[in-house]
Amino acid sequence: MKNRFLHKHERSRIVHWFLLLLSGITFGSSFSLFKIASGSGQAPLGLAFWYSILSASLILVPLLIGRNQHWLRGCVIVFCFLWSLVSTTIPAVLLLHAARELPAGIVALSVALVPMVTFAGAILVKCDRASFRRCLGLAVGVIASLLVILPDTSLPDMEDAFWLLPLFGVVLCYAAEHLYYAIRIPENVPVAGLMFLMFSFSALVLLPVSLLTSTFFLPAWPPAVGEWALLGVASVTVLDYFLFAFLVARAGPVFTSQAAYVVTLAGIGWGMLLFGERHSWWIWVALALLLTGIALVQPEQTHEDIS
């Protein structure tokens, strides 16, 4: 009986690691896909609208399979509307602006800051307590950010430094999303339902804004490269949300948080593969420091984490 349990436990670990790598590698491609989509000539607001529509459409099938809509109530609607602003609406627009001007690897590198900024935010809202190890990780993250910004040879063109500002906005949004989701998530609501409402609200917000700013457009038919890239971003994003929810429930939050390593490395790798990007040694030092910072700010392993 004990051997059977160990074998089952070992199989679960292999499955969890496979899903973690799948999630990180696929989501890491989103930065390159955003860059391809942003190079289509369409404005970021219009692109973000269609990205939200495509993402919501992809969730319709798993949502309808559940058939139980008793979870739809006022507090869920309010939660999903506010969640949509910090998880999709604002960061998607900022990402599309930044991806148009910066290498995909630099965009991916910014994601490594999210766990550190989330920890800082958790201290501010008193959801977590400071410790020397985790504060050291936060300081390492700040140093890594300075290595990207300050040296003359870190970016392909120093004028690109301006476009790092939208990326820091994306980091702040994602950190706010993590804290908001952890504190306010409604109970007994299917993940597909939350995601569908979130992307739908994002589309509802972006539609009038894109119409008022004359950035709305109708996708080309047959789809061009930009349209296929948007569909790719929507697909990997939806897949990542489902895998994230599954891994948190089955393997625990600490194990799942390791996806940040994979996403960052995969994002840089996709940029090198698809665009032939090459980075200065300052960027590689910054990457090493950011990965170290992630390791330091992670919470301690608990009995819930079975990895």
Listed range (142-151, 264-273, 293-302) with the worst mean pLDDT = 293-302
- Confidence class of residue 126 from pLDDT cuts 50, 70 and 90? confident
Residue 260, pLDDT > 60, answer: yes
Distance in Å from the first CA to the final CA of the chain: 21
Mean pLDDT of the chain: 85
Query: 230, 303, 269: which is closest to 54 by C-alpha?
Result: 230
More confident residue, 147 or 208: 208
Cα gap 77→203, rounded to integer Å: 15
Residue 286, pLDDT > 50, answer: yes
Please give the structure tokens belonging to residue 51: 């990205």
**What pLDDT score does 255 carry?**
78
- The total of other beta-carbon atoms located within 10 Å of residue 5's CB is 9
Tens digit of each residue's pLDDT (9 = 90 or more) over 55-109: 999 998 777 766 666 777 888 999 999 999 999 999 999 999 998 888 999 889 8
For the chain, what is the HEC assignment? CHHHHHHHHHHHHHHHHHHHHHHHHHHHCHHHHHHHHHCCCCCHHHHHHHHHHHHHHHHHHHHHHHCCCCCCCHHHHHHHHHHHHHHHHHHHHHHHHHHHHCCHHHHHHHHCCHHHHHHHHHHHCCCCCCCHHHHHHHHHHHHHHHHHHCCCCCCCCHHHHHHHHHHHHHHHHHHHHHHHHHHHCCCCCCHHHHHHHHHHHHHHHHHHHHHHCCCCCCCCCCCCHHHHHHHHHHHHHHHHHHHHHHHHHHHCHHHHHCHHHHHHHHHHHHHHHHHCCCCCHHHHHHHHHHHHHHHHHCCCCCCCCCC
Tens digit of each residue's pLDDT (9 = 90 or more) over 219-256: 888 889 999 999 999 999 999 988 988 888 787 776 77
Cα gap 207→77, rounded to integer Å: 19
Tens digit of each residue's pLDDT (9 = 90 or more) over 158-170: 677 788 889 899 9
- Confidence class of residue 306 from pLDDT cuts 50, 70 and 90? very low
Question: Which residue, chain included where needed, has tokens 């550190």?
Answer: 116
Listed range (40-44, 78-82, 202-206) with the worst mean pLDDT = 40-44
Distance set, CA 261 to CA 169, 171, 255, 281, 293 (Å): 20, 15, 11, 19, 11
Is the CB of residue 251 less than 8 Å from the CB of residue 23?
no
Please give the structure tokens belonging to residue 264: 């960052």
